[in-house]
Structure 1
């Protein structure tokens, strides 16, 4: 698969490109799985924010990514 741009989506995964490569699965209610291969890091977020903006799950991932 050739990946161009900021990120791509396929097979239920989001794939990041650029200086810092990552893959992420995003589920309903704030469930997230983030893999940062270069850092040998996997982050799993379990949440129950159904029908909400899922801000807490995103805040955790932003902190890990240094956003």
Structure 2
């Protein structure tokens, strides 16, 4: 069921260059939002920090292999 889809936690996630670029852009937007975080409600800030951590960890785990 796609409503239950959690691509950051899925072992079967297909990560294309376009997917990686979109996730990196999302991570940058999260960073921008958290920089101005003093205006966020504590719960919203907490959830955005969790999302930032999960996205950054996913991108780190799935870094492209260096070309030889």
TM-score by length of 1: 0.31
Higher relative contact order (CA 8 A, sep 6+): 2
> Which of structures 1 and 2 has the bigger CA Rg?
2
> What is the TM-score when the length of structure 2 is the normalising length?
0.31
More helix by share: 2
